[in-house]
Structure 1
């Protein structure tokens, strides 16, 4: 593999702006009452969809250190088939997936209606911002080919 431009080093002011946006997003999720551990599961799910190994490893570790169970982490790719997640968590996961896969049908009305019926406006806003930010991080890490070594 050829060495890639490390976007954080090439444009530190832009990288810092994403860090600041991430901090604001974390504050918004906590303010909306979204558990810190579950917010890492949301980031992890988006990272799984984007195939971002760096962020998958990071948010798996963060989820575990925030008290999430290894069971919930391990079934995350198949969350619809489990009973590990509440109705609110299921709506949040659907919304994160829709925003992450926005090129595939935008955010479908059915997903948004489920979110609106289950989540507050504050929660929806926080989850959508979280989705936007983790997708930005995934693109930074993937395009820069951040190393993921054992």
Structure 2
């Protein structure tokens, strides 16, 4: 066992974190959020945090959910395109604010804008997805989870 893998050092703690993420995924589905949207948020959060392992994992999930190469390619510049709908834009803006934690007045302004688009249940679910993804990013970055080359 590699000592820096926190999930291996404390499997019970990791299991609780994983269970929390699974509960959040259920809440997102119950809020009516499509898998494509929650994976889009997960990839964007992982881009901001620079988590190679989570980017690898969630990019595959995003593509399996039907995402296009074009939109994935411009995700870091989503504000500069018209490829994302109003709900996706609101979710991405909220996820970025949760991840980067801008000044309080900016966070509040973002929340007001986003709440004009998202229902309370959608707002809560997107927030929890971003919070959970940030935790998973930090786990994988701290543990130095590797991205292995594909097998030949």
**TM-score scaled by length of structure 1:** 0.94
Aligned position for 1:58: 57
Q: Measure the CA separation in 1 of the matches of 2:115 and 2:146.
A: 39
> Which consecutive residues of structure 2, in runs of 5 or more, have no partner in the other structure?
none
Question: Post-superposition shift, 1:5?
Answer: 1.3
Aligned to 1:136: 135
1:101 aligns with 2:100: yes
Contact 1:38 1:68 (C-alpha < 8 Å) held by counterparts:
no
SS for the counterpart of 1:108 is helix
TM-superposed CA distance for 1:97, in Å, is 0.3
Q: Which runs of 5+ in 1 are unaligned?
A: none
2:145 counterpart SS class? coil
Query: d(CA) in 2 for partners of 1:28 and 1:109?
Result: 23
- 1:4 deviates by 5.2
Distance 2:144 2:103 in 1: 28
Question: Which residue in 2 is equivalent to 1:7?
Answer: 6
Contact residue 3 and residue 9 of structure 2 kept, 8 A: no
Contact kept? 2:44, 2:76, Cα under 8 Å: yes
- Deviation at 1:105? 1.7
1:121 matched to 2:126? The reply is no
The residue that corresponds to 1:71 in the other structure is 70
Match of 1:84 in 2: 83
Contact 2:46 2:55 in 1 (8 A): yes
**Moved beyond 4 Å, runs of 4+:** none
1:132 positional shift? 0.8
Please give the alpha-carbon distance, in whole angstroms, between the structure 2 residues aligned to 1:30 and 1:19. Answer: 17
Equivalence for 1:30: 29
Equivalent residues, number = 147
Q: CA deviation at 1:67?
A: 1.0
